[in-house]
């Protein structure tokens, strides 16, 4: 998949979720107001907060698709991880707000008696948001896009929030009013977990954590199958947005000419690009095979 196609596909998925979220937001605000449901109205306000998160993600994708330049020689992909951090903070804030409101409502003992329109709005939100999550997580996993994966988890957070809203509003509709804030408070714990997972994944990328062993192992096998490569001495990698940057140290015949070793290294790089569409760059260093050498590093 070409670079432009990868970013365009992620952009389309996020924009689609953006407008669906807008429709749901208006629906919940109206249903909460006219259906006399504080929980559904709060759910609509929470959807409004998601606009900031999705908007930041769209901006991050626009920045991340810019090619490398003199000031950013490794590209702009980290913008996606920064966006995912912002989304995780929005998720944390949402969970905290829901938990705080649930506690205040239960302490005060002031409960609403919602109408059926509020129950219907919560049910529609669950179905739509869960579908959006499954759609976005499938595309995000295929593209290995931190920003899109974070947005997918935000959709799942919305679905979980609306599950609590549906349960609480339904119970309140039948007279068990205290269940509304209790269910919302319980769901906030799931929201905190989603926020933590989103934050941890983005923070790993920003800290240049090692990619999966499966990916590095497959690249190692591919490189060692190339004629002239005696052994992969070392392999390292780090993520930059939707791409992985790989560092390879290849052992070769010490009597080989510079041109021959360069041609082999180029072939290794070409094969890696051909097989792994999420690899953005490969840096290759040549070592003399079966000769003592010192790896100089200061980190």
More confident residue, 288 or 110: 288
CATH number at residue 107: 1.20.1510.10
Average pLDDT, the chain: 84
Same domain flag for 115 and 78:
yes
In a domain, 176, yes or no: yes
278-288 pLDDT per residue, tens: 898 999 999 99
In a domain, 73, yes or no: yes
Give the pLDDT of residue 94: 82
DSSP assignments along 41-99, one per residue: HHHHHHHHHHHHHHHHHHHHHHHHTSPP-SS-TT-STHHHHHHHHHHHHHHHHHHHHHH
Lowest-pLDDT range of 93-97, 219-223, 226-230, 271-275: 93-97
Q: Is the pLDDT of residue 227 over 60?
A: yes
Tell which of 152, 174, 206 closes a domain. Answer: 206
In a domain, 294, yes or no: no
Tell which of 175, 206, 237 closes a domain. Answer: 206
Give the pLDDT of residue 237: 95
Same domain flag for 187 and 244:
no
Q: Global pTM?
A: 0.71
Same domain flag for 218 and 244:
yes
In a domain, 229, yes or no: yes
More confident residue, 49 or 136: 136
* 153 class by beta-carbon count within 10 Å (0-12 exposed, 13-18 middle, 19+ buried): buried
More confident residue, 220 or 143: 220
Q: Quote the percentage of the chain above a pLDDT of 90.
A: 29
Supply the angle between the helices 78-108 and 146-173 in degrees, to the nearest 10: 20
What is the residue range of 281's domain?
Answer: 213-288
Tell which of 206, 235, 268 closes a domain. Answer: 206
231-268 pLDDT per residue, tens: 999 999 998 877 899 999 999 999 999 999 999 999 99
Both structure tokens of 72: 């950013």
Bridge-based pairing state of the strands 279-288 and 231-240: unpaired
Q: Are 10 and 147 in contact (CB under 8 A)?
A: yes
Same domain flag for 139 and 278:
no
* 289 class by beta-carbon count within 10 Å (0-12 exposed, 13-18 middle, 19+ buried): middle
Q: Is the pLDDT of residue 1 over 60?
A: no
Count of domains in the chain? 2
Q: What gap in Å lies between CA 34 and CA 31, rounded to an integer? A: 5
C-alpha to C-alpha distances, 126 to 168, 181, 298, nearest whole angstrom: 14, 18, 52
Same domain flag for 220 and 202:
no
14-35 pLDDT per residue, tens: 888 888 888 988 898 898 888 8
């Amino acid at each position: 998949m070409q670079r432009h196609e990868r970013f365009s596909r992620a952009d389309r998925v996020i924009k689609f979720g953006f407008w669906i979220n807008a429709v749901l937001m208006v629906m919940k605000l109206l249903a909460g107001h006219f259906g006399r449901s504080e929980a559904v109205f709060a759910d609509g306000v929470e959807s409004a907060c998601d606009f900031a998160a999705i908007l930041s993600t769209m901006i991050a994708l626009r920045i991340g698709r810019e090619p490398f330049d003199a000031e950013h020689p490794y590209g702009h992909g980290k913008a996606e991880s920064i966006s995912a951090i912002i989304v995780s903070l929005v998720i944390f804030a949402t969970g905290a707000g829901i938990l705080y409101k649930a506690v205040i409502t239960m302490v005060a003992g002031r409960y609403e008696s919602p109408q059926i329109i509020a129950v219907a709005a919560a049910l529609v939100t669950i179905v739509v948001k869960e579908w959006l999550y499954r759609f976005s997580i499938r595309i995000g996993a295929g593209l290995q896009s931190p920003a899109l994966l974070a947005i997918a988890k935000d959709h799942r957070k919305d679905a979980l929030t609306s599950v609590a809203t549906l349960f609480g509003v339904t119970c309140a509709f039948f007279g068990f009013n205290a269940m509304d804030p209790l269910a919302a408070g319980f769901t906030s714990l799931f929201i905190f977990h989603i926020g933590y997972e989103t934050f941890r994944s983005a923070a790993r990328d920003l800290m240049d954590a090692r990619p999966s062993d499966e990916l590095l192992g497959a690249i190692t096998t591919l490189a060692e199958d190339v004629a002239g490569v005696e052994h992969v001495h070392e392999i390292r990698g780090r993520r930059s947005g939707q791409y992985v940057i790989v560092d390879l140290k290849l052992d070769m015949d010490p009597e080989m000419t510079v041109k021959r070793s360069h041609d082999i290294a180029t072939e290794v790089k070409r094969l890696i690009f051909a097989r792994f569409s999420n690899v953005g760059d490969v840096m290759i260093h040549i070592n003399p095979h079966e000769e003592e050498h010192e790896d100089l590093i200061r980190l």
